[in-house]
């Protein structure tokens, strides 16, 4: 039996290929993909951008996925608490298990880059290390989470990557908690997921900053739990946050714009003794000037954050399953697997007249 896969053969080139489904043993498995998310990082991976080493083309892209266990060895079934036919989501990273970060439990920072859809070549068996395909290989160290049948495919795709990121970045690393004022710069999918996490954490006020073109997203932020939304082209965001916090500014700030100006603004919004969370990918050669004297004199903590992990995804599943947040509204485009190139262009903002938030690939279309 074979599977289709959209393969980045070299930077900027994508083609459909077929691969045989691998044989599995006691510890691994195969996932039949139901829905795949196109991450904001995928266009960069496709074009060869990397701050973590050279891309090992050819690569099957895709690391946001939901599907059903097609085949799985007995030991793997016992370890994950799943059986064949169960619906699951799978984390981006799984780690080699041998390098120092993996041994310390920080497998998202694996020095050998054992991650789906980005840093493992599909040139050699078992090939299927990316989700732009009909099937995905479940490595013995893959982080697999069972989900309910009732959860929509759209919410499920967003749970591991976007919502799990938010839980880890804001709550577990940023310390988001009861009554803590939070400012989020950038009302994209990650910013809105962050609003939901802040709301679940009991934070307040929750403030979201965007631009004129983000007006619909700012309105959506209210439905995710934002107390204050700020159009930075109509009012001074610094003054708006100052008013909303009684002059103390935000205790926790996150910039998810990926733009140097967003990082600079985030620091301006940070109050005395606050924490500034920086997950944005600004570019390996981009210099982001920050007013570091403010960091020193106000004892602001800067925290770089990357990806999600098991302790973050488990609560993210509960948040998604609660139905309290309109995660499905984040999805703006759904395309067949064959149109992966168009999906990448949409996410990269390269399609005139289109404004994509979350783009999905559906292998069944």
**Domain residue ranges in the chain:** 2-159+308-362, 175-304
What span, in angstroms and rounded, lies between the C-alpha atoms of 162 and 139?
22
> Cis omega before residue 242 (within 30°)?
no
**What's the pLDDT at 53?**
78
Pairing mode of beta strands 2-10, 59-60: antiparallel
CATH topology classification for 2-159+308-362: Quinone Oxidoreductase; Chain A, domain 1 (3.90.180)
Sign of the CA dihedral running 133, 338, 52, 257:
negative
Q: What is the pLDDT of residue 110?
A: 97
CB-CB contact of 59 with 11 (8 Å): no
Q: Which pLDDT does position 334 carry in this prediction? A: 98
Give pLDDT, residue 281: 79
Q: Please, are residues 195 and 208 in contact by the beta-carbon 8 Å criterion?
A: yes
What per-residue confidence (pLDDT) applies to 287? 85
Which homologous superfamily does the CATH classification assign to the domain defined by 175-304? NAD(P)-binding Rossmann-like Domain (3.40.50.720)
Q: Which of 202, 206, 256, 203 lies closest to 229 in space, CA to CA?
A: 206
pLDDT for residue 51: 73
Residues of the chain with pLDDT under 70: 285
pTM (2 d.p.): 0.96
Alpha-carbon distances, residue 80 vs 62, 100, 124, 144, 287 (angstroms): 22, 24, 26, 6, 42
Cα(154)–Cα(33) distance, integer angstroms:
13
Identify the CA nearest to 265 among candidates 293, 288, 247, 299.
Answer: 288
Query: Could you please report the per-residue DSSP string of 89-156?
Result: EE-SB---SSSHHHHTT-GGG-TT--BTTTSS-SSSTT---SSSBSEEEE-TT--EEE--TTS-HHHH
Q: Say if CB 324 and CB 300 are below 8 A apart.
A: no
Please tell me the distance from the alpha carbon of residue 256 to that of residue 356, in angstroms, as a whole number: 16
Percent of the chain with pLDDT over 70: 99
DSSP bridge partners of 47: none
Question: Which pLDDT value is given to residue 84?
Answer: 98
| Structure tokens given for 57 | 């083309």
Residues 288/294/295/300 CA torsion (nearest 10 deg): -120
Structure tokens at 181: 């004022």
Contact 302, 295 (CB under 8 A): yes
CB-based contacts of 296, cutoff 8 Å, min separation 6: none
pLDDT for position 305:
97
Q: Which of 194, 182, 332, 347 is nearest to 269 (CA)?
A: 182
For residue 29, the cross-strand partners are 72, 138
Contact 113, 120 (CB under 8 A): yes
For residue 68, the model assigns a pLDDT of 98
């Amino acid at each position: 039996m074979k599977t289709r896969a959209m393969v980045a053969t070299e930077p900027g080139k994508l083609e459909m290929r077929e691969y045989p489904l691998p044989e599995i043993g006691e510890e691994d498995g195969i996932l039949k993909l139901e829905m795949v998310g196109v991450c904001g990082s995928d266009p960069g991976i496709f074009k060869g951008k990397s701050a973590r080493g050279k891309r090992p083309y050819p690569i099957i892209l895709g690391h946001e996925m939901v599907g059903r266990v097609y085949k799985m060895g007995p030991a793997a079934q016992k370890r994950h608490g799943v059986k064949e036919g169960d619906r699951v989501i799978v984390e981006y990273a799984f780690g080699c298990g041998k390098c120092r970060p993996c041994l310390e439990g920080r497998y998202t920072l694996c020095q050998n880059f054992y991650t789906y859809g980005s840093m493992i070549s599909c040139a050699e068996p078992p090939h299927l290390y990316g989700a732009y395909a009909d099937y995905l290989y479940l490595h013995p160290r893959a982080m697999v989470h069972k989900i309910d049948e009732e959860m929509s495919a759209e919410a499920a795709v967003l749970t591991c990557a976007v919502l799990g990121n938010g839980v880890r970045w804001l709550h577990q690393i940023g310390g988001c908690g009861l009554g803590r004022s939070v400012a989020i710069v950038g009302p994209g999918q990650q910013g809105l997921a962050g609003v939901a996490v802040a709301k679940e954490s009991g934070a307040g006020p929750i403030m979201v900053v965007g631009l004129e073109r983000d007006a619909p997203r700012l309105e959506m932020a209210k439905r995710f739990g934002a107390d204050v939304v700020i159009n930075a082209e109509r009012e001074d965001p610094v003054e708006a946050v100052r008013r909303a916090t009684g002059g103390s500014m935000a205790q926790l700030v996150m910039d998810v714009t990926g733009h140097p100006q967003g990082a600079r603004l985030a620091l301006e919004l940070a109050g005395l003794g606050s924490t500034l969370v920086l997950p944005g990918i600004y570019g390996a050669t981009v210099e982001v000037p920050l007013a570091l004297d403010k960091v020193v004199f106000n004892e602001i903590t800067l925290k770089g954050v990357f990806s999600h992990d098991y302790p973050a995804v488990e609560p993210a599943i509960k948040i998604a399953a609660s139905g309290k947040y309109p995660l499905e509204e984040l999805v703006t485009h759904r395309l067949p697997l064959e149109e992966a190139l168009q999906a990448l262009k949409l996410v990269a903002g390269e399609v005139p007249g289109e404004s994509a938030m979350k783009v999905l690939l559906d292998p069944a279309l």
